[in-house]
Amino acid sequence: MSAHWLNAPDSPLPRPGRSPSGRDRGFDIGTRLASGPGLGRTGVIHTAHGQIRTPAFIPVGTKADVKALVPEMVADLGAQAVLANAYHLYLQPGSDLVDEAGGLGRFMNWPGPTYTDSGGFQVLSLGAGFKKVLSQEFSGAVDSSDPRVRMQAVKASNAVVDDDGVVFRSHIDGTRHRFTPEVSMGIQHELGSDIMFAFDELTSLLHPRSYQESSLERTHAWARRCLREHARLTGIRTHRPYQQLWGVIQGAQYEDLRRRAARTMAAMDEDGARFDGFGVGGALEKENLGTIVSWVCEELGEDRPRHLLGISEPDDFFRAVEAGADTFDCVNPSRVARNAAIYSPDGRFNITNSRFKRDFSPMVDECGCYTCTHYTAAYVHHLFKAKEILASTLATIHNEWFTVRLVDAIRSSIDDGDYESFRDDTLGRYQAGRRKAARS
SS3 197: strand
Does residue 117 have an active-site annotation? Answer: yes
Question: Cα–Cα–Cα angle for 196, 138, 315, nearest 5°?
Answer: 70
Ordered DSSP codes for 42-56:
EEEEEETTEEEEESE
Residues in the chain: 440
Q: How far apart are CA 244 and CA 248, in angstroms?
A: 13
Q: How many Cβ atoms from other residues are within 10 Å of residue 291's Cβ?
A: 16
Is 164 a catalytic site residue?
no
Among 276, 329, 346, 408, the one annotated catalytic:
329
Please list, residue by residue across 115-151, b when 16 or more beta carbons sit within 10 angstroms of its beta carbon and e when fewer do. bbbbbbbbbbbbbbebeebbebbeeeebebeeeebbe
Give how far Cα 280 sits from Cα of 227, 286, 320, Å.
Answer: 18, 14, 11
Catalytic residue among 117, 194, 326, 346: 117
DSSP 262-278: HHHHHH--BTTB--SEE
Handedness of CA 437, 60, 39, 256 (dihedral sign): positive
Q: Sort 72 into a burial class: Cβ within 10 Å, 0-12 / 13-18 / 19+.
A: exposed
Residues labelled catalytic: 117, 329
